[in-house]
Chain A
Amino acid sequence: MSLSERLHPGVNLAGTDPESHVAAEEVLFGFWIFLMSDLVLFAVLFATYAAMSVQGIAEGPRPAEVFDLTAAFLETLLLLFSSFAFGFAMLEMKYRENRRGVLVWLLLTGVLGAAFVGMELHDYYVMITEHAAPPQASGFLSAYYLLTGTHALHVSSGLVWMAIMAVQIAVLGFSTPVKLRLMRLALFWHMLDVVWIGIFTFVYLFGVAS
């Protein structure tokens, strides 16, 4: 197979760093499969939420009473812009191998991601204190906190991973393993976006509309 035919999800290095591009094929395919398995996990959590948000209200509050659509919309924007910034980090890595450029974009990604997590924690705080809606209140809220919490945990792990990558870029430079790790982190980060769009739609929009 010629080099250009070996395409994989995410940024491809065929034109700028053929050696890393070849090395990327197997690990990125493997990571893609990991993400699929992770998506199955989210699918299961979505399904549980779908059942619980209708059948599991019990005496607790209903979705429309506890969700703040403005906050969820702002969180969506934060996460989307963070993915956008990560895209620029990857382009810097691919075309310039510019440490400073990549680090600046990664920092922006991380700040936006951290703001997202911070806002979500604030949402939880408001729900628990003002709406008396902790996870223990009903099956619906248990499922809500598990679904959004699992996503938030993923985003937080992504932030830790990002910090480690920043150190590795500074210490090891753009070696092939560092590049491959960044490419995988990018896939991970974009997938979290996709999952969040699902949460925004099915949890918040449907929830407020119901």
Chain B
Amino acid sequence: MNWELIFGQIKWTSFVFAGMIENPSLSEAIASGAGSIAVLGALATVILLTVKGWWVPLWRDWLTSVDHKKVGIMYIAIALVMFARAVIEAALMRAQQLAATEGAGFLSADHFGQLFSTHGTIMIFFVAMPFITGLMNYVMPLQIGARDVSFPLLNAISLMLTMAGAILIMVSLVVGQFSTGGWSAYPPFTGIEFSPGEGVDYWIWAVSLGSIGSTLTGLNFAVTIYKKRCPGMTLFRMPLFTWTTLCTSILMIFAMAPLTAATVMLALDRYAGFHFFTNGDGGNMMNYANLFWLFGHPEVYILILPAFGVWSEVVATFSSKRIYGYTSLVYATMCIAVLSFAVWLHHFFTMGQSANVNAIFGIATMIIGVPTGVKVYDWLLTMVGGRIRFSTAMLYHINFLLTFILGGMTGVLLANPGVDFQVHNTLFLVAHFHNMIIPGVLFGMFAAVQFWFPKVFGFRLHEGLGRASFWCFAPGFLLAFFPLYWLGMMGATRRTYMWSEPAYLPWLALAMLGAALILAGFALMVMQIVVSVRQRAQLAAPLGDPWDGRALEWSIPSPPPAWNFAVLPAVSSQDPFYEAKKAGIAYRSPTTYEDIEVPRNTATAPLIGLFACAWAFALVWHIWWLVIASFVLIWVVVIARSFATDTEETIPAATVKAANEAFLAAARAAPGVSRDREMTSENRGRALPESLEGRSGAISTGPAVEVLS
């Protein structure tokens, strides 16, 4: 019997536990422990779903759903699960580096290599990307007054491809090993000659699935924003989060293709003996460096722009002011999006191109500081004279302004090729990009969760625990990463698993302390969610507008109905909902309701995701029958779906009317809550606008008035 025909290259020694049995050590014990957590976590999930009888609702209400809101929530769920793994890996690496200042520490070099590779890969592709994609998915259609994205099924397929990639990475904990080539997977190290195992293949296929999903997401959102804005919403009336979503989508359309090309070429080198990036035979790894960073640098802005959008919404709302310099923020966003394609070469200043080329790319890199600076001033000036409430989201924003500027300045330092020659490949660089991505992207997403959570689930998050979590995250971040600047200048190289330099010890200890604080922050954040769910009755804010919001998403109930807007709104200004509240015409009933068509749930997307996951797994392990079978099945599903004709269902006007009128009546009857009391249980989601406080009856409770003809 030729087992290789059936199982490919999987042997019993491929399983992580075999290492522990054959060659017991602390490093192997940790690997087995992580594998056990993955297996037990999966088992626990299966048992929980079975015991609670949740399989059917999970399938019927979630996995087969094409509703952009549910898709968005599932994206963020993926991000949080993967974040838990990646942040623990980060703490483990810190502990190893601390333990290995004099001696070898407790992890093997190979294990450490896998840790930084999975940490980086997961944080970029399976935390940050799903987080921003989920958020854009949920919020953007609501902000532009649309009922859905342009291609709901494609949206669900993008989600399932991302989920397939995430599952593949989790599987790599148990079956086989992950790449040791870092998140950027530079050949020739990741070529077959130096990395003959399955690790790089896990990286290739997980990242490819994620990047295909992101390409489809980008085109879906761009079309949605161009074609599905409600009447009256011109481009320059779009909320800033929608603007950043648009620019991010365009970046995704253009930037993901080079990554796909690079991963395919690397795969061809590894699987078929091609010579794109090999040493010799005409291969050249600089091709990879160019392709990867042609994706990789715009990627940085794919991640940061949505967070910039979040900050714009948060600062305006919690300052009770119109955003300062709307137009300049829009143009700054566009400038950043364009410039992001002009700087990729700064990732390899030291790899031998001429000084002139380095100078041009150095200057281009520094120029990005200009539009970013414009944004920072706009946010600061939004706060000037505003009525600032220090909610958790606002605390994150203020912390972001301070720390992001520091990170930006170290970026300008690195943009100088001369300085870069000194500190490249050291922890200085590690400190810099964490300094951008953590306060910029991650804290931006945390602020977004605090800000939009009541919109998504109908109740606010516990404010005290939110602030407690913030007060661990913010100093934790400073402690964990600012020592790395110093270590980098002392010459500590990145991705190093041990060294013999006692002078590093105090700084590494500080960084470890920071990592512990970050872990505590994450624990408090999980606790915040658990406690909030328990106290959801006191925290309920079903009337939709807990923070005195400005854009259209706050004008509908929380959580929003499947159809989002009972009647498509018509807008005539920026901040349309805020203007309506000020004019006293919010919460008025429309004169007529119409039937609404919504897409039916379908198994298409989860099936494609399932087969894509099997396909990628089979490719990693060279299980050729499964490669062919799952590839065929993917296309069978697509073709079968193309013959389906009955893909939409109609929600009758009466249903829509009953739900919407009940909501409007409750909103009109509610007393409204002043800004001072918004963190108390009085806040049921009908904010009394700042400008109207003290004037009773300012919000019309009169008879139905036509909103849209």
Contacts and interface: CB of A to CB of B under 8 A. Distances in A.
A interface: dominant SS: helix
Contacts of B261: 41, 44-45, 48
Interface in A104-158: 135-143, 145-146
A144 B258 CA distance: 17
Nearest to B260: A41
Contacts of A135: 268, 272-274
B449 interface: no
B642 A146 contact: no
Given A33-B219, A33-B253, A58 B227 contact: no
A37 interface: yes
- Chain B contact-residue range equals 35 or more
Nearest to B228: A26
A57 B227 contact: no
B603 interface: no
A142 B150 CA distance: 38
B227 A142 contact: no
B interface: dominant SS: helix
Interface in B173-223: 215, 218-220, 222-223
Nearest to B253: A37
A143 B261 CA distance: 11
A29 interface: yes
Interface in B221-278: 222-223, 226-228, 253-254, 256-258, 260-261, 264-265, 268-269, 272-276, 278
Contacts of A40: 253-254, 257-258
Interface string B630-643: 00000000010011
Interface stretch (A63-71, A86-94, A164-172): A164-172
Interface in A176-203: 177, 181
A55 interface: yes
B280 interface: yes
Given A41-B257, A56-B282, A136 B275 contact: yes
Contacts of B496: none
B2 interface: no
Given A37-B215, A164-B642, A44 B294 contact: yes
A138 B281 contact: yes
A60 B278 CA distance: 15
A40 B298 CA distance: 14
Given A60-B282, A181-B642, A33 B222 contact: yes
A97 interface: no
Contact of A139 (B275, B291, B294, B643): B275
A136 to B, nearest CB: 4
Interface residues of A, number: 41
A3 interface: no
A58 B150 contact: no
Nearest to B255: A40
A33 B223 CA distance: 8
A41 B208 CA distance: 14
B151 interface: yes
A206 interface: no
A137 B253 CA distance: 33
Interface in B269-321: 269, 272-276, 278, 280-284, 287, 291, 294
Contact of A136 (B253, B254, B273): B273
Contacts of B280: 58
Interface string A17-42: 00000000111011001101110110
A36 B274 contact: no
A51 interface: yes
A30 B276 contact: no
A139 B272 CA distance: 13
B254 A146 contact: no
A136 B253 CA distance: 31
Contacts of A181: 642
A11 interface: no
Contacts of A139: 275-276, 278, 281-284
Contact of B227 (A26, A138, A164): A26
A205 interface: no
B356 interface: no
B287 A29 contact: no
Interface in B465-482: none
A52 interface: yes
B645 interface: yes
Given A37-B254, A44-B294, A51 B274 contact: no
A44 B291 contact: yes
A58 B281 contact: yes
Contacts of A41: 257, 260-261
Contacts of B282: 52, 55-58, 60, 138-140, 142
Given A138-B282, A172-B645, A146 B272 contact: no
Nearest to A33: B219
Nearest to B264: A146
Contacts of B257: 37-38, 40-41, 44
Contacts of A33: 219, 222-223, 253
Contact of B276 (A26, A36, A143): A143
Nearest to B261: A44
B602 to A, nearest CB: 15
Q: Which of A30, A135, A137 has the most CB of B within 10 A?
A: A30
A30 to B, nearest CB: 4
A121 B643 CA distance: 32
Contact of B643 (A58, A59, A168): A168
A49 to B, nearest CB: 10
B266 to A, nearest CB: 12
A188 to B, nearest CB: 14
A121 B33 CA distance: 51
28 contacts: A26-B150, A26-B228, A29-B223, A30-B220, A30-B223, A33-B222, A37-B218, A38-B257, A41-B257, A44-B257, A44-B261, A44-B291, A48-B265, A55-B284, A56-B284, A58-B281, A135-B268, A136-B272, A137-B281, A138-B281, A139-B275, A139-B276, A139-B278, A139-B283, A142-B274, A145-B274, A146-B268, A164-B639
Given A26-B150, A37-B218, A51-B284, 8 more contacts: A26-B228, A55-B282, A56-B275, A56-B283, A56-B284, A58-B275, A139-B281, A177-B645
Interface of B: 150-151, 215, 218-220, 222-223, 226-228, 253-254, 256-258, 260-261, 264-265, 268-269, 272-276, 278, 280-284, 287, 291, 294, 639, 642-643, 645
Interface of A: 25-27, 29-30, 33-34, 36-38, 40-41, 44-45, 48, 51-52, 55-60, 135-143, 145-146, 164, 168, 171-172, 175, 177, 181
In order of increasing CB-CB distance, the 9 nearest A-B pairs are: A139-B282, A56-B282, A58-B282, A142-B274, A40-B257, A138-B282, A41-B257, A30-B223, A136-B273
